[in-house]
Structure 1
């Protein structure tokens, strides 16, 4: 078995125990994670703290050794979500390391990885014409100096492996990581700004679709809105109950920040009872889009994520042929119902991950191709994409069953069914199904890796702007702070503002990066208003009280200055 060990000195204990080490994973040069089992051995306790077993043991608070077990013993890189001063949580990556019995020094290797990534990418982009700033040069210089101090402490009087020696090494490594990751943020800003300026010399107004996710209200949600009305005519703010759950698409509504809408047309929402389709809520939203001239991305027609498929599918048991027949009937009815009113079909989402249907790889491919064939047969002219969940493949580190996201997408593109592009669903800051937070530089590198498929990309972003449960969200997951200080003792008002500011600070550079990439044809923000039905908890650009969040002001400025 290929075990990889990482030493955590006592001086690094505070840093390490804030890291999400239970979710750490190993991957090779192609970026696909290996399934692994993570165990932390405290140095002051012979017991073992694995990720799932012995959950009743008290959490260790000192140093020790982190071990990742996997089935192969080839060299690999460690990816670990860590707190970074001045930034928040961020995935840090080591360079490629060998499997050896002697533990690698965790903090030193993470600092080495940060140094390697930012220097190599800066050199690559600079050769391509990027102009580096004085701030970046200063940060990279200070970061490299701190890293050199970590591998060779300046105090030569300290003896190796003593607490004083380890404390100095740890302090220098943490300082190096902070400086180098700040340099990465600055580098990402430089790339996005200069690339955008270059694109606009040839395309003053970008043709990129900037869409917002819209969830048509179910009959039950519409009835709930009617019951909440207080005036005699059962209206809400002068609107009928049905109108009150449909967002406005004009210039004073969605149109102020977005030039398209990603309308959710999904099996789990429409066919609550087998053979009984309720297209009314979707029809109302599409009519509003038509009246305002808003382009429509329709789907995902099949959403293979927990809680988003029809409940009655459990009655089919393991009968795959019956499942295929039910799926085909629904997709055919849906596409025939809305053909000509949708400008881009999002066929399915999440089929690459382990979902509620428990299908094997062959069945997943047959299911996926069946969806595409049915859409193409019913509507041969409208472009079709397929969406990938967790595009970095974090789920592979914990589940033996699962398909590599990029290999799954490649197989679909090679199927010959005329797939027009690939959708990438990124959810940052959620308790389940999230993509680990990455720097703008690593995000740009990830998009470039997907660009090797030579297919247009649609990228969906979900970032929470408030803590706690969200009863109106379709996905039953919990927001997770993207910064260690977000779960502090702030009162509700200040905590809400801090989370909204966090959403803006995290998402803004990612949106800039995506608009700078010509391969990205559409960007979808997952959620307009938390007052209306929505998919991900607290992800809207308008909060539950109807107040605009900072990200809305930013997207509105982009719409006015950059987009068609």
Structure 2
């Protein structure tokens, strides 16, 4: 359930089956008006997370399909206003589908019976999904040309995340096309026995990066998620007073060893979700502050990043002690913690809350929430799977396959780079074992374990090559000659 501002909230939800399908009985605990979020198979568009508008409580059940369609109509109108995209010439296909969706939705409102209402509402959802996705991509195309029409992308625009356990000689050739590489650092693997540090794998990759001139993002340094702590430290998981000293010793060893070789430090990743169990926010802040001060002590100019997960708030209402990504960033700012960039994890097709399949408009809207923040944004882990990962993962249009993964990358990467505050993007896993889905599966890699590229790899390389030269002015659909750029009119930069 969601409250005002799409803030996650706890609620008592019961489902009662009946001859019409069933009824959700919902009792909210915090505010009376609430929105209902649900994963639904909606046919052509996929098996996706959708939601309703804020609904006041009442005895008579709402028609779920009708309310999902209503929210889709609202989303289109809201983003047209937000992006200054009301001119149909900016997105003619989106405008056409929206008009059809609105007509069908109106018919559903006056349908003579529930069966007709349900069919019309389902059609309105489908048309509305087409309209919002097309609007998101049309807006992205305009802003991408505005951003890169007269200049090339920076030399650190596209990266990928590797698994330190893999051999650089095996996958190194497929990394040549990427601007930067993220090297995960896992306490469990570095210090499997207390006081005994094994830097073999990390040394191999940092040496490779030095030899090839690849900038490195390293981390997370602080990670309390399941499986992150060494076995000997698990006994201290909920005893931070005892965990703090060995954590500091580990951080000191890592930072001292690699401070001259790392371009940016990922201090933490998703600590606000408390996946490893409830943890007071004061302990989280202390651990982050310790790492931040340690890095600055060794090199004051070293760049530091805080990574947030689940931009949609799915986990917050489910995991005790968790707080939302944006609330967490506000708290860090209030505590005076200093960092250079925000990292955001944008994953779909996973089985964990916050990683399930979503439509393009929802992804674009989630990135818009960073608009106006003083910190540059890195999509520090962005990806979709090449296969179905199991129950709850959903699908984006067709089922997840290597080709579907490539199609998703071809749309989402340009959409993200069109946002002027997005500094760089790292694909979430170069090979499947780089960053397994926390739900228990892996499949986000763009390269096979033997170094064979998948279709998404070619798409990413092609996009990076395209941005090595200016794109030129944006051409409106069907317009001849090309429109002149820089006249001060047109869609918003948000």
TM-score by length of 1: 0.77
Q: Distance in 1 between matches of 2:168 and 2:79?
A: 50
Mapping for residues 138-537 of structure 1, pairs under 5 Å = 138-153=96-111, 158=112, 165-206=113-154, 209-217=157-165, 244=169, 247-248=171-172, 252-256=173-177, 258-316=178-236, 318-356=238-276, 358-459=278-379, 460-467=381-388, 480-482=393-395, 486=399, 499-530=401-432, 534-536=435-437, 537=442
Does structure 2 retain, via aligned residues, the 8 Å contact 1:139–1:182?
Answer: yes
What residue is the counterpart of 1:228 in the other structure? none
Q: Distance in 1 between matches of 2:350 and 2:159?
A: 21
Offset, 1:417: 3.4
Q: Distance in 1 between matches of 2:31 and 2:391?
A: 36
Offset, 1:561: 1.2
Q: Distance in 2 between matches of 1:82 and 1:478?
A: 12
Does structure 2 retain, via aligned residues, the 8 Å contact 1:271–1:278?
Answer: yes
Please list the CA deviations of residues 304-338 of structure 1 after superposition, one character each: whole Å capped at 9, or x if unmatched. Answer: 32222222212336432221111111111111100
Runs of 4+ in 1 over 6 A off after TM superposition: none
CA distance 1:438–1:130, change in 2 (3 Å): farther
CA distance 1:82–1:206, change in 2 (3 Å): farther
Offset, 1:65: 0.8
Please list the CA deviations of residues 418-451 of structure 1 after superposition, one character each: whole Å capped at 9, or x if unmatched. Answer: 2112111122122224434332222222112123
Structure 2 unaligned blocks of 5 or more: 470-494
Does structure 1 retain, via aligned residues, the 8 Å contact 2:182–2:218?
Answer: yes
CA distance 1:318–1:196, change in 2 (3 Å): closer
Q: Distance in 2 between matches of 1:357 and 1:77?
A: 27
TM-score by length of 2: 0.87
What residue is the counterpart of 1:28 in the other structure? 3
Q: Distance in 2 between matches of 1:535 and 1:334?
A: 23
Offset, 1:274: 1.4
Q: Secondary structure at the match of 1:397?
A: coil
Does structure 2 retain, via aligned residues, the 8 Å contact 1:335–1:379?
Answer: no
Q: Secondary structure at the match of 1:82?
A: strand
Task: With a CA cutoff of 8 Å and minimum separation of 6, indicate the structure with the bigger relative contact order.
Answer: 2
Larger radius of gyration: 1
Alignment size in residue pairs: 464
Offset, 1:366: 2.2
Q: Distance in 2 between matches of 1:300 and 1:557?
A: 29
The Cα RMSD (Å) is 2.4
What residue is the counterpart of 2:446 in the other structure? 541
Q: Distance in 1 between matches of 2:18 and 2:54?
A: 26
